[in-house]
Amino acid sequence: MAIFPVLMVGAIYLLLWRPQQRRIAAVRQLQSKIQAGDEVLTTSGIYGRITRLGEADAELEIAPGTVIHIARGAIGQRIEPESVPRAGEPHDGETGTD
Partner residues linked to 79 by β-bridges: 39
Residue 61, domain extent: 35-85
Q: What is the pLDDT of residues 72-87, one digit of tens each?
A: 989 999 987 665 556 6
In this structure, the answer to whether residues 39 and 80 fall within a common structural domain is yes
Number of domains in the chain: 2
Residue 96 lies in a domain: no
The DSSP result for 46-68, as a single string, is -EEEEEEE-SSEEEEEEETTEEE
Following CA atoms 90, 85, 72, 55 in sequence, which dihedral angle do they give, to the nearest 10 degrees? 180
In this prediction, residues 65-71 reach a mean pLDDT of 95
In this structure, the answer to whether residues 10 and 20 fall within a common structural domain is yes
In this structure, the answer to whether residues 69 and 40 fall within a common structural domain is yes
Spatial separation of the C-alpha atoms in residues 35 and 47, rounded to whole Å: 15
How many other β-carbons are positioned within 10 Å of the β-carbon of residue 28? 10
Residue 58 sits in a domain whose CATH number is 2.30.30
- With beta carbons less than 8 A apart as the criterion, state whether 42 and 70 touch: yes
In this structure, the answer to whether residues 29 and 39 fall within a common structural domain is no
In this structure, the answer to whether residues 53 and 78 fall within a common structural domain is yes
Following CA atoms 38, 39, 43, 46 in sequence, which dihedral angle do they give, to the nearest 10 degrees? 140
Q: What is the pLDDT of residues 7-42, one digit of tens each?
A: 888 888 888 888 888 988 988 898 889 999 999 999
For the ranges 34-38, 63-67, 71-75, 87-91, the lowest mean pLDDT is seen at 87-91
Residue 94 has pLDDT above 70, yes or no: no
Confidence of residue 45 (pLDDT cuts 50, 70, 90): very high
In this structure, the answer to whether residues 45 and 77 fall within a common structural domain is yes
